[in-house]
Structures are given as structure tokens and as C-alpha cells.
Structure 1
């Protein structure tokens, strides 16, 4: 029979005994030291620890400013289950009781301000409906917010922490199939945004969240909108950042060309071009935008065929009208964020997207390009957090 791991908190002074041994309370934060044990799991994971969804190693900061202490497994197991460094309330971390799900441990750990890694140092991953393994990261605190990158095929690390949204939400950042650290599927057709919506539903089920709040960027907004149309009852709130379109790629190329021409002689344009960047994709070229551009170059690049596979179009005008009607039936609140200086997607596509949803709202951030959380992080964070909390 498999051993159930136990996390033990050890310090130098008097031990606490009884049923709350190992549980740190507010009184402990002002000097009482604790020695005790409590199981992370009430029962072993099906298939053993190595086959579990998440063999978790979480690293937490001293979120409440109390003395650092270490919790480590008290019994041997195949690899390190969990190591926490920093201050947190065990009772609050586990919601007053310990759950049997590794993914729940990961999500709750991240809500205390930490990041989550699997025991082999990679990000959490799950097997989607067709056997493709997808990776995601978890960071922040508060209710879960699923995040989709653009591209198509951009590494989700391109989103950073979305201007500081991790201070208000637990960011569950999914690498799409054939992108970032997720697998490339054998069936290229499964990379169409209409099909990738199925991965989002699989993630929702794995996280056991009834209604997903989703934030998506650029091409990723098509996947998010397809999910909303397929599962309107499973959507909480939706944030669409510089969207590529409503039911397919619908960027107004005339508008985009005009923005690029208007911005061609801006300060920093020549430097951005020399660095291999598109100066019209940011609100302005700066040290911050340069670092963002340089980071992108370090991420895995998607396969060359992905763009064509992703951007599918409705088969006919009637099919397109049906897809528009399905989105118009989504009654969840939708925030569409555009950048006034976006030379990649422009503003007209965002306007069309926002106008489709009954509870849709468009906000154009002045001076921002295609990555508004990079250009104006404070304005972006306040706008999106206010919408999600409203």
C-alpha cells in the first residue's frame, strides 16, 4: 500500500500537540512556534505520485512578512512532493481542510502568491481530449483567471503577469497546443482556434471550476470566443485584449497600414527596426518594450504551418452569420481592450467584437499598442481588475 506523504513544520521551541498540531494560526505569527504533522492528501493519488496530475513543488514568498520556515515531507516518496519556503497560514492555504487533489494543492498554493512547478522542474500539464499534453503555469492570488496568449503559437510567458493582475487573481496561463511548452499534436486540424476551444473546456474540468473567467490576447481571443459560444453557461467574465476578430481573422488592413505610416518616423522607430522589432506594435519603443521583445526571442517558436491551421474561416456567409449569432447569444460580461496606436490589429476589429456581445464594452487605451499591459501597466491593471471585480 502506498504511503501517504506528510508535511512537517519544525521549529526550535515548544511543540503544539492535539488536533491542530502543524496548523499555524495568527497567534503563531507573534511568537508561538509549532511542531506537528498533517497529511497533504487524505488518500494516495490514483496511479501513484509519479502518475498524478501534479507532483507539485511550490515556492511561496513571505506573503505576510513573518519569519521564513521550511516544510518538507516527513516520509520518503518518489521525488520531492512539496517544499514551501516562506510565511503562510496552513489552515487558510488548504481552506481549513486538506484536499486529495494535487491540482487543488497547486491552485491554492499559487493563490498565496507563489509559483508552481512539477517535481521534474517543468510546469503543470494535463492530457487533453485527444491525448495531446498541454502545459500551463499558475501564479498569483485570488480567484482563478485563465490566460491565453496570441500569435498564434506565442508562448504564454509573453503575457508576463499582465501588468500586475497576479496581485488580484490567480493566473492560470495555458500554453496552447503547438505553442510554448505544450506538445505539437499529430493532427494539424486540431490546432484550429475552433478546436482549441475544446482544450479550454478540458482545462476547466481539470481545475474543477464551474465558470471560467478568461483573458485572451490577439489570436487567442478567437479561441476564447469559440469557447464562449460553445459553452456560454461555463463562462464567467471574458476579457479580450487587442482581438484579431470575431469569428475569424478580421483585421482591417487599411486601418493598420495607416497607423504604421503615421508612426513611421516616431522616436525609437529606427532603433526598434534595427533590433528586429515592429515599432508600431508597441505604444513607444523603450527599455521595457525592448526587454519584452528580446524575451520573445528566447521562447520556443511555433511550427511554420500553425498560422494557416489556426486561422480557419467559416465555410460560407451563412455559416459566418451563424457563428456571429452564437456569440451574440453569450450573456456574460465581455470587456474588449484596444490600443489606440496598435499597428498589428488596429481598433476596428475590437469595435466590431465589442458590439456583438449584449453585455460587451470597448475600452481604447490611449498611447498603447498591441500589448497594452506593457505600455500602460497601471491603466491596464486597474481597468481589467475593476471589470473582473465589478
Structure 2
């Protein structure tokens, strides 16, 4: 199993600046393409091996803006706005994790990209894991950042938003004057040095990104696909053994209030050969807290690992062997796993 390490440099090629491509901010502006009749927004920049950056629920490709230009010096970087998010269409549609994985496959197909290293944050980490499960032949590596889909527990606020009446709650938060109230609450919990205080400003920005009923409806439909009042309802832990041979790195904030850092240790133990990197003091958005270290870790990981060596025969062997020592009764007792 991989261990925890700290990398503070700028990657294995940092000293050779002459080999880096220059990428301007204009190169990472939003573009659009219609897929299956829906307008999809995405950012793409650079050349070389592909990196697919998948944002979390309620977020958009803007979460990666401070990283795209840097990563695009060496790689082709694709950062989509998931359907129902950002500048992409928000139809009444299937917002399941599996559907999002299909959408990522189709976008890569439109762009002529056969395979990629997937970098998924939060809900996007769950989409990345689902993509690797559905399309292992198209997945070179996995980088999971505060990823959902590991264990059941999740922030109580997300549980509450999954309940009936959530649309009214979200619309109330956008009323004049409420931003002042929530701002004061945020300042209080920050002063109390709580984990939620680390993430509250970022989470409130996500609420601000839901300006109308259509946006709120898409957000709630996506959330309810993975969370109910008891917590997360989709987990990939039952299939993590299939990641054998898939280079995987887990990046987590030690004070993540949305997906607790304990999930990182659980995923690390369940994913053979995975590497774990903890951002001490960071919350749910380590790529915002320390983008320099984040980019260095991603670059070093890609440069020091080969793409997954996937084969149909090996996949069949892993499926037949299962998780090792697991009986049929064990499987039947696990009543809350994803069957997708």
C-alpha cells in the first residue's frame, strides 16, 4: 500500500521551464458543445496527456480556474460544467452518478480523447470512480479529492437539503438580508475554529451559484441521487478491489467538514496500492487552500506512474475472486451499497 508523503516542490520538471508551454487566461475560457440535445459547457487548454477535472455538486469548472493554466503547460486539461451545473443546461433529466459518468465519456468522445487521468472533487470524485468502474479501458489514473461515495456519513446540512422542502430552504437563503445573517454565522464558526468554519465561505458561494428555481431543482435532484436523511446512499467501497493496477491518489483536507478525513483513510485501505496525501489544516477544498502543492502533487503523480494496464482477462479474474474472503451471506447483508 502507498504511504503518506508531503511534496512541496513544483514537480519533477520544475527546473526545465523551457519545456513548458505558455497558457494564457484566454485559453481557459468557457466553450460549449451540444451533446444529446443539451448544451454542455467546458474549458479545455494545453496539449499532451489528458486530464479530466470534475467538480463537485453545486459547483462548476470555475473551481479549477487557478489550476488549469498551470496544468495545461504539460497536459490537455478538460474541465466541464456537469449537466445541471454552471453554464451547462439544466433539464429535467437523469442526474445519477452513472449518468454523469456516461456524460464524461461522451464529452471525451466529442473532443476526440480516448483516455484520461481523472481528477474528481467531492461529488466529482464519485463520478470519477464510477467512470473508472464503467470505462476502465478509458481511465489512466484516478485522483480523488475529498471524494464522495466512500462511507455513509456526510455533513448534516447536505442531509437536510435532501429532505422535502429543500427548494424553499435554498430560495430563502437567497433572500435580501439572509446573506448578512449567514455571513455573521460563518464568521462566528470561523472564530470558534470549527471544521465547518473552514468550509462555510466556500459552501455559501455554492448557494449563491443557484440563482433560480431551475438551478436549485438540478442541484437537489443531483444531491438526492447520492444522499438521503441518513447520509450517503452510494458507495464504491464494495468494488474498490477492482482498482488493482489503477494508479490512484487521494488528496484530502485534514479538517474537511463535508466528507471527513476518515473517509480518506478508509478508501486508502480499500484501494490496493493507492497513495494518500493529507493537506493539514485544509477543509473540503484543498485545491483552493494550497493550489501550488495541489498542482505539484498531480504533476508528480502523473509523471511517476504509468497509465493503468487494463485487460478484459484481468477484470474477469478480479470479479470472480471478489473482495477476498467475502461470502455470499456477507454480500446479502450489505443492504446499502450501490448496485450501479
Give the structure-1-normalised TM-score.
0.54
1:201 equivalent in structure 2: 105
* Change beyond 3 A, Cα 1:322–1:382: closer
Deviations 1:327-363 (A, max 9, x none): 4213321111111111221111222223332232221
2:275 equivalent in structure 1: 361
1:282–1:375 Cα contact (<8 Å) kept = no
Equivalent residue of 2:117, what SS?
Answer: strand
2:237–2:267 Cα contact (<8 Å) kept = no
Deviations 1:220-243 (A, max 9, x none): 111111111001111011111011
Equivalent residue of 2:216, what SS?
Answer: coil
* Change beyond 3 A, Cα 1:166–1:191: same
2:34–2:40 Cα contact (<8 Å) kept = yes
Deviations 1:49-98 (A, max 9, x none): xxxxxxxxxxxxxxx99xxxxxxxxxxxxxxxxxxxxxxxxxxxxxxxxx
Q: Which runs of 4+ in 1 moved over 6 A?
A: 292-295
1:117–1:124 Cα contact (<8 Å) kept = no
Q: Distance in 2 between matches of 1:253 and 1:114?
A: 37
2:129 equivalent in structure 1: 225
Match of 2:59 among 142, 154, 169: 154
Give the structure-2-normalised TM-score.
0.62
Deviations 1:278-322 (A, max 9, x none): 74568969xxx97x67875764553245334444369xxxxx999
* Change beyond 3 A, Cα 1:294–1:117: farther
Equivalent residue of 2:83, what SS?
Answer: coil
Q: Distance in 2 between matches of 1:153 and 1:375?
A: 19
Name stretches of at least 5 consecutive residues in structure 1 with no aligned partner: 1-63, 66-110, 257-270, 315-319
Determine whether 1:382 maps to 2:272: no
Determine whether 1:135 maps to 2:41: yes
* Change beyond 3 A, Cα 1:345–1:305: same
Deviations 1:12-48 (A, max 9, x none): xxxxxxxxxxxxxxxxxxxxxxxxxxxxxxxxxxxxx
1:250–1:349 Cα contact (<8 Å) kept = no
Query: How many residues are paired up?
Result: 251
2:268–2:274 Cα contact (<8 Å) kept = yes
Determine whether 1:174 maps to 2:84: no
Q: Distance in 2 between matches of 1:322 and 1:284?
A: 25
1:135–1:182 Cα contact (<8 Å) kept = yes
Residue 206 of structure 1: how far off its partner (Å): 1.5
1:260 equivalent in structure 2: none
Q: Distance in 2 between matches of 1:309 and 1:293?
A: 16
* Change beyond 3 A, Cα 1:252–1:297: closer
1:312 equivalent in structure 2: 225
* Change beyond 3 A, Cα 1:252–1:344: closer
2:249 equivalent in structure 1: 335
Residue 213 of structure 1: how far off its partner (Å): 1.0
1:176–1:196 Cα contact (<8 Å) kept = yes
1:259 equivalent in structure 2: none
